[in-house]
Chain A
């Protein structure tokens, strides 16, 4: 049975909702599916109208055809402007409803959508509209624009299963569909999962031993608490936020010079580790400089909105680029914080969502007063090719000793080397020289005067429409007059308890990071074209809990990882696979390939090579030669790739240097963001190029040799070495067949190498770490191949 409160949004249950009308799909022929007893506007009709009708009969006033608007009931029921006496929709009467008649018209000139649109409404969809009209053509408010509410927990049968309210919602939805929860994950699986989810690292051997042997009731809870206390937690959380914030180590256009935004990244790690509440975390980043007597830490946080690309192309037109930066910030707010495709309203009113172009530029106006230029080189009074652009802050030794003590600032020689790079003469060299010894970060600061904002017609930076002032989209939540009309006010609006989006969007993305997909599968689009939530009540419960408990991120995560939903086994039950192949209802924990950074973390950590230093300038590990050199114009301090040495080769994935125009291949091949713009969800692909990288990347090969050598020195028999290696990498005990496959392979390789020791020597030559001289070469080389094979297993780079 369906739960009552669900009726707030949907007349019938969502069984078919996410399946039938998931966003991103083409209209689907499902003529054979029976119609629901009651047709719901939100569930059945809006997706059809949005997909097929709103572009010409929706929110965009300029493109509206025949004066007809179908997304608002008052307008839809009005007499047709161009056909007096006729109506688009007449409740209960499809044959008087010309919107319906046009759908079924046989005359091409009458047909809607017009054939030229390449859109086609299916028979079942037409039947749904007919039935909806017959039942009274009742509209409903869009779910995401109504405030989330906590409701009574749903009734469930398996009353013993839930650990916390999350489980009630998950279980209720499963029971409705004849599913039941999976068995609990075994300890090895659970420990590896939660360690990756909270720290991005695999569990160490000691952690495995401790947890396996700890039979106390709260053993798991204590593991979770110790993971939250680990500083690696902040690093893990920073990875996704760096995608959101389009963080990179270069400016991003053409010559693509070096930039120093890494202190901002160090702050993010610090803030997560301090468990800074989300409202404060975002407020500092949006408007830290506008807080009363802002501290240097608060100002550093505003680097968030200066992480976007900045041009240094000679000839760039200043205003064109300055406007593009403001646009970038505006779009980022939409995508990252409120799950709205604001950018669709830059050139015209939004085609689907109630966001006018004017409202777009009202949000834009919040960010239009920054004391910046589009192109510093051509602007008098600015230095050339600087690693930070105005407005900027300087970080002094006193800061690092004091309020910014979380920064990992290397000595100034190292900073200077990074800064000068390949440049060795000319005006840019002089300019860069003048920057050495300083550490500067681009941050937000407004002009003393007001830079007026206008609607930019067609989005063009030169074509002004009416003047606008800071404001927010009315239909989401009106901007309270008590709020200051600046970025601080915008932040207050975001965290107003009446804002229906901010909390939902964030908890959804946390869910997405853990389970691989959000409860709303379109995390950047909660609008009309977005997917409906699979578990609307759970989403709301999480959102309200989050707000009621001071936007406490660790608490939110803790609730999730302590749930029994989370603690299920990921082993696939064939019956469940058949009933719910996409695992929408989570009758098992979903298996997902690790993100690029954590694949690196796994390899370095399990081999013992990892240098766990936190923060500091980004590093340049092994990379295939020639990539930067071939793509560069020859100018710039990043024209050639200067690989780091020693410890800097073995840092965690999030510290890998990102030159935007040539992003690191080991990251990009595994779907990491190129940091071109705000990215809220990475793809998870599976390609042969990934296989090639795992087979031949020196990082993986070196780690294989190092781990082989370590284990050979520490452990007894060859079989023990294989067993230990497997355990460190895959996070579980290998069973006997697995051991014998690897042991056979070892023997095979050993034979090969003993008859051909030169090859063995050759294969050991990889990476900068020393090759042990006190181990038999053929055996080491053979063991290296075995360990390397384990690294290449699907399970190794998958979170189960």
Chain B
């Protein structure tokens, strides 16, 4: 009996090992960098599979492009039209509306909260008769392709925790971000590109920085970490060979290296040595695949015209939008853009004009471009910031100038493609633009909905860490079915 037990234990152990192999390397495979050959035949023996049953249901979207507007653009100058605020320009925000909401350290000592309407005009567009401000003329033209949510709300009131909450489901750091969860759950469609990539750009407006914890793998394996891409010379860190080193020479070096590693394997017998060789081969393939996938030089002029003149300048939001399309169509699961500069505590009318100008055309172009390539249906595009802005002025209010503080109670974002209702406006705020009047969407609801569109049940996409099952949506979140086709 005892012997039998041991034998069974060891069999189990062997399977367990294989499963670890397929999870360890394999989730590198699943997760970020698929190496199909390495694992053929192993899957059948997996007995531990936290990802069993994925997709949990038929996915509507295969990929996500998230145009994060970092710093929090004002909903009151973009999509949430509040004529009442113009009528009541300069009047005190009634206490009945404010309801004692906590304020940031920047306005908590302010004695007066004068309401301020948008200095910019709004018009209705498209079949949905959606209101869009004059700052976003290109977006106005695609309203029939997008779904505007005016009733977003969040829990955090300052940038760092709010951004972290949006991306990871928790205000403090060290949790996996949305892209990492998708990488973990779905892996990459392209064996030569990471599943989760990050692109950064900066506008002229007041910026708040970005932090690598926003694309962290948290407690997931580090292969699920967002890989920062750039449109410059070295699209991925350390990708380019040293100047002068040719691909051919690199190949020669890798061949010798493989021979040496094989000799080590023959001495030491450790299968990890072969895994290392495989990663070097992967790296070599990336050296060709990544520059190809990120090469914008072969795009026709009409494409640059569509995205705007900025798209010819590497590192701009517009160039990143175009790069995002390329990465996405090459199978990158989650392309995360961050564009800084949306934190208009003061001088909002001027700064916001510049900010909108930087992003409006390219954001709309991305939708148009994906649509004309037949990719919009399977690509979920998201546009929005981490919270909203107050309906009262921060600092001095003049006829021409004002600022707005952080406002977590309501704000607007838009989504497009990926099975989200086009030409649809969801949720309403009260006439002061301060509280949500109808159909609130919490950040966790939003996250649950995004996962849902990719075929993932946010309550079942879990990872056990320190004895607890973690989810992107923590212990909350509901899929907002109203938004879906």
Residues in chain A within 8 A of chain B (CB atoms): 15-16, 19-20, 22-26, 28-30, 32-34, 36-37, 50, 118, 176-178, 253-256, 309, 311, 313-318, 324, 341, 344, 351-352, 375, 378, 462, 522, 524-525, 527-530, 570-574, 577-582, 584, 591, 593, 624, 626-627, 630-635, 660-663, 665, 668-669, 671, 674, 676-677, 683, 685-693, 695-697, 701, 735, 737-738, 741-742, 744-745, 748-749, 752, 758-760, 762-763, 765-766, 785, 788-790, 792-795, 798, 800
Contacts and interface: CB of A to CB of B under 8 A. Distances in A.
B259 A695 contact: no
B8 A344 contact: no
A28 B8 CA distance: 14
16 contacts: A16-B9, A33-B12, A315-B158, A527-B467, A582-B17, A633-B207, A661-B213, A671-B222, A685-B221, A686-B275, A692-B237, A737-B263, A763-B242, A763-B244, A789-B257, A794-B272
Contact of A254 (B105, B208, B264, B269): B208
Interface string B88-131: 00000000000000101110100000000000000000000000
Contact of A529 (B20, B273, B283, B467): B467
Contacts of A676: 173-174, 213
A206 to B, nearest CB: 25
Nearest to A351: B468
Given A24-B464, A29-B47, A676-B174, A692 B286 contact: yes
B12 A341 contact: no
Given A693-B237, A745-B252, A800 B268 contact: yes
Contact of A789 (B172, B234, B253): B253
B279 interface: yes
A33 B211 contact: no
Contact of A26 (B106, B249, B277, B464): B464
B243 interface: yes
Contact of B242 (A687, A766, A793): A766
A631 B210 contact: yes
A633 B12 contact: no
B6 interface: yes
A677 B173 contact: yes
A689 B227 contact: yes
Nearest to B202: A630
Given A591-B270, A741-B259, A689 B244 contact: no
Contacts of B212: 631, 661-663, 668, 674
Contacts of A668: 212, 222, 225
Contacts of B234: 624
Contacts of B256: 741-742, 744-745, 789
Contacts of B209: 254-256, 631-633, 635, 661
Interface in B239-292: 239-246, 249-250, 252-253, 256-257, 259-261, 263-264, 267-270, 272-273, 275-277, 279-280, 282-283, 286-287
B16 interface: yes
Contact of B5 (A36, A351, A633, A763): A36
Q: Which of A177, A178, A789, A790 counts the most B-chain CB atoms under 10 A from its CB?
A: A789
Given A256-B211, A627-B228, 8 more contacts: A23-B467, A25-B48, A34-B4, A324-B172, A341-B466, A741-B256, A741-B259, A794-B276
Interface string B334-349: 0000001000000000
B8 A254 contact: no
Nearest to B315: A630
B33 A687 contact: yes
Q: Which of B10, B33, B211, B221 counts the most A-chain CB atoms under 10 A from its CB?
A: B211
Nearest to A662: B212
Contact of B216 (A571, A662, A674, A692): A674
B269 A318 contact: no
A378 B105 CA distance: 7
A793 B260 contact: yes
B263 A665 contact: no
B249 A793 contact: no
A595 to B, nearest CB: 13
A530 B273 CA distance: 30
Q: Which of B33, B236, B256 counts the most A-chain CB atoms under 10 A from its CB?
A: B256
Contacts of A524: 466
A793 B277 CA distance: 9
Report, nearest first, the 10 A-B pairs whose CB atoms are least far apart: A529-B467, A762-B244, A572-B269, A581-B17, A315-B104, A691-B283, A633-B209, A661-B211, A688-B282, A688-B283
A226 B272 CA distance: 32
Nearest to A569: B268
A143 to B, nearest CB: 15
Given A794-B264, A795-B264, A15 B173 contact: no
B253 A794 contact: no
Contact of A578 (B14, B242, B267): B14
B468 A582 contact: no
Contacts of B48: 25-26, 28
B252 A582 contact: no
A20 B270 contact: no
Contacts of A314: 105-106
Contact of B49 (A26, A525, A760, A790): A26
A593 B460 CA distance: 33
Contact of B20 (A582, A692, A785): A582
Contact of B12 (A19, A669, A687, A748): A19
B222 A633 contact: no
B421 interface: no
B410 interface: no
A749 B249 contact: yes
A87 to B, nearest CB: 28
A662 B214 CA distance: 11
Contacts of A665: 237-238
B158 A313 contact: yes
Nearest to B208: A633
B34 to A, nearest CB: 11
A518 B16 CA distance: 18
Interface in B184-237: 200, 202, 207-213, 216, 221-223, 225, 227-228, 230, 232, 234, 236-237
A674 B16 CA distance: 30
B244 A759 contact: yes
Given A317-B102, A692-B239, A687 B263 contact: no
A593 B275 CA distance: 12
A794 B278 CA distance: 11
Given A591-B270, A676-B174, A631 B244 contact: no
B238 A693 contact: yes
Contacts of B211: 254, 256, 631, 660-662
A558 to B, nearest CB: 27
A344 B105 contact: no
Nearest to B246: A759
B465 interface: yes
Contacts of B20: 582
Contacts of B49: 26
Contact of B238 (A632, A677, A689): A689
Nearest to B343: A633
B340 A763 contact: no
B134 interface: no
B160 interface: yes
Given A15-B5, A695-B250, A696-B240, A341 B257 contact: no
B28 interface: yes
Given A316-B105, A633-B208, A695-B241, A525 B283 contact: no
B16 A688 contact: no
Nearest to A698: B242
Contacts of B253: 745, 785, 788-789, 792
Contacts of B282: 688, 691
B466 A525 contact: yes
A742 B261 CA distance: 12
Interface string B146-170: 0000000000011110000000000
